[in-house]
Amino acid sequence: MRTLDAVVPIYNEAEILPELHRRLTSVLESLPFEWRILYVDDGSSDLSPELLAEYADQDGRVCVLHLARNFGQQPAIAAGLAEATADAVVLLDGDLQDPPEVIPDLVRAWNEGNDVVYAVKRKRKESLPKRSLFSLYYYVLGRLSSVDIPANAGNFSLMDRSVVAAINSMPEHNRYVSGLRAYVGGQQTGVEFERAARFAGEPRQSPLKLGRMAVDAFVSYSEVPLRLVTAMGFAVSGVAFVVLLTVLWKKLVSGEAILGWASVMTSVLFIGGIQLIAIGVIGEYVGRIYTETKHRPNWVVGRFRNLDESSSETRTGLSDRHDAGGLSSEPG
């Protein structure tokens, strides 16, 4: 029988976990697969770890990775994918905005021969300003990215084992799973769904974190910002050259001198602003080079349940390995 793993990153979702687990297990039981759920506890400080341990004790098909601290959503996803071994791997968020009931639709599309089936948000439940920002983000990303990243398609997806293996082999530290998924290629298709409102609690992704993720996506999948900086440099130099010729013309031909402290200061501040923007853009790329050269693990697993202990010594999340680091294990 074919196998399916569901990878679910969790961070302080104690209010949602009982309903999430009930609905997810109900959906998986209805599918003709041998299945596992891989919950990745990203350093939760509420009752989420206790609930996950309870689910793992009740059902050996429920596996739990407890990260040693809060590493962030993308490292948590990478940790879960590193443990996935099934023929198909479903990735969904833990806030029930990705309805588990859509999984059978993803499976049907995968059975048609697709390597990746991503869920496309037909309608979002967020506020108008947030929806507008997401639309702008996907538009800009689509224009700048060197790979075709589908609009309104987030983490929620089903990937063939070959795609997961390819993603796990990629060494970068700043990971953006939607971009990595698109980079792998293969036969990909989308399944539309209506994204639900958050089931309970407050969103875990603050505007600052979302902005950071957007910058990561732009820098990781496009060299256009660097080219724009170069273009701005040529444009400002061209304007400065024209202004210089104008000043010389008026001085040498007509004998007029162009005076004006305000115009000089405006020019200086404008050029200075362009230089600071250029330094900032270059700094983003240099910062990522520095991060990659340190070769620190993307995540560290503090303990785990219902997973093979034989690989516990290699669970370090290092960029040149496919699995994540462990400090200790729990029976399960």
Q: Please, what is the average pLDDT of the chain?
A: 82
Q: 276 or 41: whose pLDDT is higher?
A: 41
Confidence of residue 20 (pLDDT cuts 50, 70, 90): very high
Instruction: Look at residue 331 and tell me if it is in a domain.
Output: no
pLDDT at 324: 38
pLDDT higher than threshold 50 for residue 328? no
- pLDDT (tens digit per residue) in 67-124: 999 998 889 999 999 999 999 999 999 989 899 999 999 999 999 999 999 999 887 6
**How many Å is the Cα radius of gyration of the chain?**
25
User: What letter does residue 237 receive in the DSSP assignment?
Assistant: H
Helix residue ranges, H only, the chain:
17-29, 48-58, 73-83, 103-111, 128-144, 161-168, 177-184, 207-220, 224-249, 261-294
Mean pLDDT across 140-162 = 83
- pLDDT (tens digit per residue) in 118-147: 999 887 666 667 667 777 777 776 677 777
Q: How many domains does the chain fold into? A: 2
In terms of domains, do 271 and 311 share one?
A: no
Instruction: Look at residue 259 and tell me if it is in a domain.
Output: yes
Instruction: Look at residue 218 and tell me if it is in a domain.
Output: no
pLDDT at 158: 97
In terms of domains, do 305 and 284 share one?
A: no
In terms of domains, do 37 and 171 share one?
A: yes
167 with 184: CB under 8 angstroms? yes
In terms of domains, do 270 and 180 share one?
A: no
In terms of domains, do 272 and 322 share one?
A: no
In terms of domains, do 260 and 180 share one?
A: no
Instruction: Look at residue 217 and tell me if it is in a domain.
Output: no
199 with 16: CB under 8 angstroms? yes
pLDDT at 295: 79
In terms of domains, do 99 and 121 share one?
A: yes
Range of the domain at 142: 3-207+296-326
pLDDT at 329: 46
pLDDT at 261: 57
Whether the model clears a pTM of 0.95, i.e. scores above it, the answer is: no
pLDDT at 322: 36
The domain that contains 131 carries what CATH number? 3.90.550.10
- pLDDT (tens digit per residue) in 307-325: 887 554 446 554 443 333 4
In terms of domains, do 110 and 179 share one?
A: yes
In terms of domains, do 167 and 74 share one?
A: yes
Considering only CA atoms, which of 94, 222, 98, 210 is closest in space to residue 149? 222
Using a 10 angstrom Cβ sphere, with 0-12 exposed, 13-18 middle and 19 or more buried, the burial of residue 275 is middle
Point out the least confidently predicted range of 16-30, 72-86, 285-299. Answer: 285-299
In terms of domains, do 155 and 237 share one?
A: no
